[in-house]
Amino acid sequence: MGCGTSTQTKPTYSRATQDTVISDVELDDNYNESSTGLETSSRNTPSNPAIIVTPASATTRHTSSQRQTPKSSKSSTSSPIDEGIELEALDEEDYPPKPCKLKKIEIVPDVSMFKNIDEHVAKTPKSATASIPELAKYLCRPAKNQLEKIRAIYQWVSRNIEYDVAGFLNLNGTQKKSNDPESVLRNRCSVCQGYADLFLSLCREASVPAKTISGYSKGYSYKVGVAITTKSDTNHAWNGVFVNNEWRLVDCTWDAGHVGDNKFHRHEGEFYFLTDPDVFINDHFPYIKKDMTLSQKWQLLNQPRDLETFSKLVKVPKQAVLYDLDLVSHKESIIPVTKEVVVKFVAKGKPLHKAGARLGDADGTLHDQCVFVEKEGETTYSVTVRPQKPGKYTLSLYGNQGEQNTLNSLVSYVIDCKTVEKNAKPFPVHFGLWGAEPNYAEYGFDSGVAKRTSFESDTGELEIRLPVIDPVKALGKLAFSEDDEGDDECIMLEQGQSEVLVQLRMNRAGFYKFLMFAKKENGSSYEKVLQYLIYCKTPVKQYQPFPKVFQEAMTGRMALIEPKTKSLPAETEVHFRLTSSVIDIVRIANKNYERGDNNTWNIDVMTPSSGEKFNIFGRISDSGDTSYKALYAYDIE
């Protein structure tokens, strides 16, 4: 059965600028409700190498025959809902499943309401775990109502039962442990059916109506794009529990921990405790006794979903639910593509701090040069996918809402590309959002830098004006899409009163990645602040790199008007034209020149012999610093 865990991995990437990605994948296995055996599904590693999953498992159903006499009890929970009296632990024959009227937030407005219950559960003595009746009696001792009983039982099962990884994987010939509730209690180890049936037995012992539900889950063995039909065995088990006069859904297994490196790693989860049915149906489809009519009732929805729709819809992992993502463009898991496709989603709650996408083929090879991710407005995100070859790919989207460098798995699609654009140019490899980093203002940039992510040039030359609040300390790099490293010879930066002028020259047609690094006022290092996509239709006809520009030219608000080529002819008279409102003395070839009209210099200078150095220096006369700082450097040929 589907294990209640998430596998978390942290793959290492070759580029230092890439973010570490946490993948979040539920696990499951195949459980045939009509048999006592377990048939393991194929466990191929998903095509996305950023997601590494390991399996978890299931067992046969055990139904407790014990029935309890109803007991009257006054409800006094901190929840605003009044349960009334306790109910006899019966199934749907007595309390038929109906659509939920309450949202989880109405039942559990704040998880701290269970503080006393959770602390009591955490202190469970070994003596109280000798049998199911004794454990139920201990767990429910401080409970004032049905809700607190359910919480206590849920907490103990999800926090104390480990997933039977060794048995499920048959490690070193290990056999699976029994799923009988008493055996699960004794061994503290099982698969999903054992979790579910132990929860059921404890609930019935506590006079809480409960039910074990079998069905299909989108967990470990789920493969995006592979149809789920009733011809397949069910592969997971979870529970229904009656509280506040309606049935709710819980999955102790999927809140227990995750499996990685052939081991079980515990973590404490709340997501699958009384989960709202419209969220639960995303990855849990009930299929009980091969009765679809009955099974659909256990979705607890006003408009139940059919299995075909469940199969086609893309799985939305719990982190995407917590981020309140709306998949506005593509809701089905398979996306047919002709040449290119744009996938859009909206973070309806808090905007994502970071986002990224990966495209992988069936062999696990990444094709990140076929993906471009940008932010549109405050909360809309756009992912352009342009495969270079026909075929099927896995598109995985990631993001976070915090400032950490780890990204959570949000959603994965199958890209079914039929035809591609001939001679399509690859994007520069960049994992993450294009445009401005969220903290650009800390480096002196104005909000205008975040309004665009890409630029285009018809001539091979381009000027970009970046608005600033304060003078910035910045460096730039321009990298062609097929190059791993960029250079700064095709970039010239100039600091103005309220902007930084970026001048670019490109000698090849295609996509470029422009990076700007900046340093805070008292910072010790330059950090990446901007990354723009540049498309050059036609390269510059006679390419010449810019002269080297030193940081002092930026600080002094110096603008070089001419010459703007790195190489100068030897022993030739060259005209230099510069302007600055800050620097007032320029030194060239051991001679000082004062600023002329309009803060401009017009200077004719004889260049030295070939191979000699030729620099332009400058200083501010009233700064107290009499030294000259290098502004520009040329090569003499």
pLDDT in tens, 524-537: 899 999 999 999 99
The SS3 assignment for 613 reads strand
- Split into its structural domains, the chain has a count of 4
β-pairing verdict for 334-338 and 407-419: parallel
**CATH number of 488's domain:** 2.60.40.1220
Band of the pLDDT at 19, cuts 50, 70, 90?
Answer: very low
Both 221 and 205 in a single domain? yes
Both 334 and 276 in a single domain? no
Any idea what DSSP says for residue 113?
A: G
- Those residues with Cβ within 8 angstroms of residue 6's Cβ, 6 or more apart along the chain or in another chain: 24, 25, 26, 27, 254, 258, 267, 318
- Those residues with Cβ within 8 angstroms of residue 423's Cβ, 6 or more apart along the chain or in another chain: none
pLDDT digits (tens, 9 = 90+) for 3-18: 544 343 333 333 333 3
Burial (CB count <10 Å: 0-12, 13-18, 19+), residue 586: buried
Quick check: is 66 in a domain? no
- Those residues with Cβ within 8 angstroms of residue 104's Cβ, 6 or more apart along the chain or in another chain: 274, 275, 276
In this predicted structure, the answer to whether residue 29 has a pLDDT above a threshold of 70 is no
497 vs 382, residue with greater confidence: 382
Would you say the pTM of this structure is higher than 0.85? no
Both 270 and 352 in a single domain? no
Both 485 and 413 in a single domain? no
Other beta carbons within 10 angstroms of residue 562's beta carbon come to: 11
pLDDT digits (tens, 9 = 90+) for 574-602: 999 999 999 999 999 999 999 999 999 99
Residue 456, CA distances (Å) to 87, 140, 429, 479 in order: 69, 67, 18, 15
DSSP assignment of 171-183? GGGPPPPP-SHHH
Both 513 and 468 in a single domain? yes
Both 164 and 298 in a single domain? yes
Taking Cα atoms as reference points, which of 267, 401, 257 lies closest to residue 321? 401
**CATH number of 574's domain:** 2.60.40.1930
Q: Residue 410 belongs to what domain range?
A: 321-419
Token reading at 443: 């480096």
Both 304 and 198 in a single domain? yes
- Those residues with Cβ within 8 angstroms of residue 332's Cβ, 6 or more apart along the chain or in another chain: 312, 313, 314
Of 546, 578, 610, the one marking the end of a domain is 546
Residue 602, CA distances (Å) to 8, 547, 569, 586, 595 in order: 63, 18, 19, 11, 9
Residue type, 109: P
In this predicted structure, the answer to whether residue 103 has a pLDDT above a threshold of 80 is yes
**C-alpha–C-alpha distance, residues 264 and 257, integer Å:** 7
Token reading at 395: 């598109």
β-pairing verdict for 585-588 and 435-436: unpaired
Quick check: is 366 in a domain? yes
106 vs 56, residue with greater confidence: 106
Q: Would you state the pLDDT for residue 92? A: 54
**pLDDT-wise least confident of 54-58, 248-252, 553-557, 629-633:** 54-58
Q: Would you state the pLDDT for residue 32? A: 37
**CATH number of 369's domain:** 2.60.40.10
Band of the pLDDT at 411, cuts 50, 70, 90?
Answer: very high
The SS3 assignment for 383 reads strand
* Structural contact between residues 192 and 2, judged by C-beta atoms closer than 8 angstroms: yes
Q: Would you state the pLDDT for residue 5? A: 41
**C-alpha–C-alpha distance, residues 609 and 197, integer Å:** 89
